[in-house]
């Protein structure tokens, strides 16, 4: 799929209320498979959505920085799992932003384990935050802007 096709597909499945509408974007970034590329974008997009929603906090930023470190340094799955479990109990099920960030640790585990649904797992945080937005269409545009900027930056560096 081309960049334009994957964006059009994303808009279409979003309009159809498909639960994992960003999966095509993640699959696009993962060709060829590249955990760093996928998680760099997912973390970047999550940060931007948190900021857009007014949910950005120092604690969530620390958690995203830790996740980046785990991706960069290829942390062992048991270490990531222990962190996930520890962060999971610190959040309330009513705190969408915290839950969305913690979900990323689980996505990293599934990606590292080669889970056949790893792309779907990587969509959870983004879909949660967009669903939490007052204006979902505007939040979708934030996601697509981040995707466009990320792909353009990657292309200009190649």
- DSSP result, 84-119: HHHHHHHS-TT-HHHHHHHHHHHHHHHHHTT-TTHH
- The DSSP secondary-structure symbol of 33 reads -
Tell me which residue range forms the domain holding 134. Answer: 3-157
Q: How far apart are CA 41 and CA 56, in angstroms?
A: 17
Confidence category of residue 154, pLDDT binned at 50, 70, 90 = confident
**Distance, CA of 132 to CA of 67 (rounded, Å):** 22
Phi, psi angles (nearest 5°) of residue 78: -60, -35
Q: How many distinct structural domains can be found in the chain?
A: 1
Tell me how far the alpha carbon of residue 91 is from its chain's centroid: 18
* Position 141 pLDDT exceeds 50: yes
Q: What is the pLDDT of residues 106-138, one digit of tens each?
A: 999 999 988 888 899 999 999 999 999 999 999
Quote the CA–CA distance of 74 and 17 in Å, as a whole number. Answer: 34
How far apart (Å, rounded) are the C-alpha atoms in residues 80 and 86?
Answer: 10
| pLDDT value of position 157 | 47
pLDDT band at 158 (very low <50, low <70, confident <90, very high): very low
Q: Are 20 and 127 in contact (CB under 8 A)?
A: yes
- Phi/psi zone of residue 112: left (φ > 0), alpha (ψ -120 to 50 degrees), beta? alpha
């Amino acid at each position: 799929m081309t960049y334009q096709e994957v964006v059009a597909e994303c808009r279409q499945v979003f309009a159809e209320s498909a639960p994992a509408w960003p999966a095509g974007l993640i699959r696009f970034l993962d060709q060829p498979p590249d955990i760093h590329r996928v998680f760099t974008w997912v973390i970047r997009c999550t940060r931007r959505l948190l900021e857009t929603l007014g949910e950005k906090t120092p604690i969530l930023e620390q958690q995203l920085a830790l996740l980046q470190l785990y991706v960069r340094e290829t942390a062992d799955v048991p270490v990531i799992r222990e962190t996930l479990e520890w962060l999971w109990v610190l959040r309330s099920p009513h705190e969408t932003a915290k839950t969305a960030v913690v979900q990323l640790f689980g996505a990293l585990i599934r990606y590292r384990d080669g889970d056949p649904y790893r792309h779907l797992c990587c969509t959870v945080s983004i879909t949660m935050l967009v669903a939490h937005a007052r204006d979902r269409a505007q939040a979708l545009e934030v996601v697509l802007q981040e995707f466009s900027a990320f792909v353009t930056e990657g292309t200009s560096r190649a």
